Amino acid sequence: MKDNKRCLKVLQTVLAGCLTTALAGCSLLPKEEEPLKPPLVKPVKENFELYEVKRANIAKQVTGIGTFASDKMDYLYFNESGGRLASIDVALGSNVGIGDVLAELDKGDIEGRIKQQQIVVEKAKIAVEQTKEEKRGDVQALRLKMLDVQKEQVQLDMLQKQLDKTKLASTIEGIVTYIDVIKPGDAVTAYKSIFTISDPKSLKLVYEFTNINDLTNIQIGMPAEVKIKGKPYQGTVVQIPSTTPISDNKAIADKNAKSVMLVVQDLPPEVEIGSSADISIVTEQRENVLVIPRVGLRSYLGRDYVQVMEGESRKEIDVEKGIVSTTEVEIRKGLKEGQKVILNN
């Protein structure tokens, strides 16, 4: 009986030890950590650059650099059948007078034929004189000899005209401002311009537009501000593409289609062909209209709109624009004076 009690006691002691060991083992496991909560961040307040809508004057103008050119020019070419180029006798910038030969074609045997024909004419004239001496009073015989002279002279004149056609001469006094890219031995096409002669005493200011749309509102008679070496001069538009003379030269026609010409008053003597000047032409202007900076106007898929501040929020408003200058925009509809337009973001 005592042994049974002793065994039971030992068993209780062993079980208590195992339970203690098991509990101790559980305590060695890491405790599960609670998830961290993100810190509260105060939202950053957006800073906008605002512009208060107000009334002002606005103007659209075209500005650029023009070049002085002669408005009295002659475009020279060989007539009729052309031929082979023998020589070009001037250079760009050469001063020429009326009748100066600029280029020549290959003459072939024309000069020899002229000399032969001159002899024939001279012999015919001698025959006339002999008839006068030998057949005094024979009117018909004399008349026949005189007709022979006329016939041979006509032939000589025709040969001389052929020779003249091999020479291209200047018809005005001026400066050679264009020479075609052609060299001796090349075939010359009839009626194709080879030279341009410009009168340096008849100058106009020419401005060639890079954007054809800028030409839309420019009209004959519009005033222009011209600056030559920083000094202002008064200019006037005297030629626009629609009033330009028709030219068979494609290069000239293409240039005229995107250029305007101005007369400038009281030009200084140092201005010459090729001199440059700053040009400013006001094409549109309006007074006392609603104006905002150009950076305040937004466009998307043909829609023009602005963003305005209303309290602490911003709002999009569709607008109708008017004149658009390089820095400002006229607003015809959509905004009221005093509204604040967002310029950024």
Give the pLDDT confidence of 218-234 residue by residue, as tens digits.
999 999 999 999 999 99
The reply to whether 162 falls in a domain is: yes
How many Cβ atoms are within 10 Å of 55's Cβ, its own excluded?
11
Rounded distance between C-alpha atoms, residue 197 and residue 180, angstroms: 12
Residue whose C-alpha is closest to residue 90's, from 75, 78, 76, 100: 100
Give the pLDDT confidence of 55-80 residue by residue, as tens digits.
999 998 889 999 999 888 888 998 87
The reply to whether 259 falls in a domain is: yes
Number of domains, the chain: 2
Give the pLDDT confidence of 21-34 residue by residue, as tens digits.
444 444 444 555 55
pLDDT at 242 over 50: yes
| CB 232 within 8 Å of CB 226 | yes
Mean pLDDT for all residues in the chain:
85
The reply to whether 2 falls in a domain is: no
Range of the domain at 182: 74-188
Rounded distance between C-alpha atoms, residue 15 and residue 284, angstroms: 106
Do 172 and 220 belong together in one domain? no
Stronger pLDDT, 2 or 232, i.e. the higher one: 232
Question: What is the predicted pLDDT for the residue at 27?
Answer: 47
Rounded distance between C-alpha atoms, residue 4 and residue 12, angstroms: 12
- 41-51: average pLDDT: 72
Handedness of CA 170, 176, 179, 185 (dihedral sign): positive
Residue whose C-alpha is closest to residue 194's, from 69, 78, 72, 84: 78
pLDDT at 317 over 90: yes
φ, ψ at 71 (rounded to 5°): -95, 5
Cα distances from 247 to residues 74, 128, 156, 255, 256, in angstroms, run 12, 52, 36, 11, 9
Do 257 and 125 belong together in one domain? no
Q: Quote the tokens at residue 150.
A: 């006329």
pLDDT at 18 over 60: no
pLDDT at 326 over 90: no
Alpha carbon 323 to its chain centroid, in Å, reads: 23
Token pair 């062993």 is at which residue?
A: 14
Rounded distance between C-alpha atoms, residue 330 and residue 292, angstroms: 7
- 258-264: average pLDDT: 93
Q: What is the pTM of this model?
A: 0.60
Question: What is the predicted pLDDT for the residue at 28?
Answer: 47
What percentage of the chain has pLDDT greater than the value 90?
Answer: 53
Do 166 and 269 belong together in one domain? no
- 288-312: average pLDDT: 92
Do 324 and 265 belong together in one domain? yes
Give the pLDDT confidence of 146-192 residue by residue, as tens digits.
999 999 999 999 999 888 888 999 998 999 988 998 899 999 988 88
| CB 60 within 8 Å of CB 282 | yes
Do 254 and 147 belong together in one domain? no
| CB 130 within 8 Å of CB 119 | no
Domain boundary residue among 188, 219, 238? 188
Do 211 and 329 belong together in one domain? yes
